[in-house]
Amino acid sequence: MTVRTRFAPSPTGYLHVGGARTALFSWLYARKHAGRFVLRIEDTDLERSTQASVDAILEGMAWLGLDADEGPIFQADRFDRYKEVIGQLLEKGLAYRCNCPRERLDSLRDEQMRNKQKPRYDGRCRNADVSADEPHVIRFRTSNAGETVIDDLVRGRVVVPNAELDDLIIQRTDGSPTYNLTVVVDDMDMRISHVIRGDDHLNNTPRQMHIIRALGGEPPRYAHVPMILGDDGARLSKRHGAVSVMQYKRDGYLPEALLNYLVRLGWSYGDQEIFSIKEMIELFEISGINRAPSAFNTEKLRWLNQHYIKATPKDRLAELLRPFLDERGVDTVSGPDLAEVAEVMKERASTLVEMAEDCAYFYRDWDALDAKAAKKHLRPAALEPLRRIREALASLSDWRPETIHEVIEATAETLGVGMGKIGMPLRVAVTGGGASPAIDQTVWLIGRDASLRRIEKALKFIEERVANA
C-alpha cells in the first residue's frame, strides 16, 4: 500500500503553529515511507474563506519547506462531485431530507441539556416525505446499532457506541456540502491512507467512518494528535505570543529552527533535541507521538534558533539577515561585507531581529552614545589612549584584524595600561555602545575611515565633558 497523507487547512486565517505541526507530522510520515503528501484547501465555507488566508497558508508551507506532492486542491472546485455523492446517498436511502425548523432543534437541544443527555437529532424526519422544493437540509442516516471502533495510532483503541451518534447534516439549506461529507469524499477520492490531525477532530471520526463505509470505501488509519498548550496550561492562543507561522519569520526565526521545535513538541526520539530534516524523516514514527498535550516554550525555541543561527553558513545567514536590516533603513551596500558581519555576530544573537538591531553600527555612525557605556568608558582618562590609538590606526597600511590587534596591544604597552583601558573606550567610540564582537574584528569591519571618524567624535564628546565639568 502506498502511504498517502494530507494536510487540509481551512482558509479562514493564518497558518498557526498547531496546524504547522500537523502538516509536519503528515509530511514526515509520507517522506519516511516514500509516499505522497497532499495539500488540500477546505474552502467550502464560502463566507469565511478568503484568498488572503489561502495565500498565508501557502506562504507558510513554502517558508517551512513542506512541499506537497499533489495540490493545492480546493474543495470549492469539487462541489459537483459532492453533489453527486449526496445524490447517491439519497437514492440508496442512506440520507434523507429534513425540514425541521431551527426553533424546534433549539428546543430539542435545550430539553436534552436539562435532562443531562448528549444533544443529538431525534430522527423526526427519517421517514418523513419532505419535498425537494421546500427549504431543507440533508442528513446522513446513521445506524444506531452496535459500536464504532477507532484503532487510533496515537490514542489507541477508541470505542464509540453508535447510539451516541445522530444523523448529521451533510448538506445545508443553501445546497452547500458540510465538512464531514466533503472530507470523506476527498479522502476516498484522493486515496488517503493515513489521516494525522488534531484530537479536536476525534468526535468527527466515527461519523466519517460511517459515511465512508456507506459509500463502499474503507476508512484510512487515524492518528489524533493532542493540542498544544501555552506555558500556563491553557490552549495556545494569541495571548501567549506569536502563533502564526509567518509571525515567527517576521520575528527572526529560521524555518529549520521552528521545524525542529515543532517536531519535538509532542514527539520524541530518546533524549535527542537537535534534528536535521534528514534525521526527522529517518527517525519519525507515529508511535513516538505523546498522548498528552505539549506546552509551548518560547525560551526553548529561542535556544534552538540560536543553535541554527550559529550553524548557518555566513553567506546564507547574510541573505536571511539582509531584509531585517532593510526594514530598519540600514544600507548594507556601501559598508562591510554582510556575510563577514553575520559571521562575527552569529554567536551573539538568538534571532535575526536581535542581530539586525545589534549590527547596525557596522553601516552607520552613531547619533548618540549609550549613556551608561559613555559614562563608564569615555572619561577624561580615555582621552590620551583614544588619541594614541587613532594615530596608530590612521598610519596602519595593512588593515586586518591581526594588525589592528597588534596596534591596540602596542598602544597599551606604550601607555603602560591594560588592554581594557584601550579596548573599551575604543569599542564605545566606534560602535556607540558597550557591546560588540572582538574589538579587532569590529574595527576591521567598520573600516578605517568610519573608525577614525567615530573616534574623533568620541574625543570631542570627552573634551566637551571636560570643558563642562
Tell me which residues are annotated as active site: 238
The helix/strand/coil state of 16 is strand
CB-based contacts of 153: which residues, under 8 Å, 6+ apart?
194, 221, 222, 223, 286, 287
Query: In the sheet that 169-171 helps form, which strands lie side by side, from edge to edge?
Result: 95-98, 137-140, 169-171
Q: Are 150 and 182 in contact (CB under 8 A)?
A: no
C-alpha cell at 338: 554582510
Residue whose grid cell is 584584524? 401
CB atoms within 10 A of CB 220: 21
Q: Which residues of 42-69 are buried (b: 16+ CB within 10 A; e: fewer)?
A: bbbeeeebeeebbebbbebbebbebebe
The helix/strand/coil state of 399 is coil
Q: Taking Cα atoms as reference points, which of 268, 454, 297 lies closest to residue 366?
A: 454
Cis, peptide link before residue 72, omega less than 30° from 0: yes
The residue ranges of DSSP E strands in 94-247, in sequence order, are 95-98, 137-140, 147-152, 156-161, 169-171, 194-198, 221-225, 228-229
First to last CA, the chain: 84
Element (H, E) at 40: strand 36-41
Dihedral of CA atoms 330, 332, 333, 339 in degrees, nearest 10, equals -170
DSSP 165-200: ----EEE-TTSPBPHHHHHHHHHHHTT--EEEEEGG
Cα–Cα distances in angstroms (integers) from residue 366 to residues 331, 337, 431, 451, 458, in the given order:
14, 19, 7, 11, 10
The helix/strand/coil state of 139 is strand
DSSP 286-311: GGGB-SS-EE--HHHHHHHHHHHHHH
The helix/strand/coil state of 66 is coil
Residue 65, amino acid = G
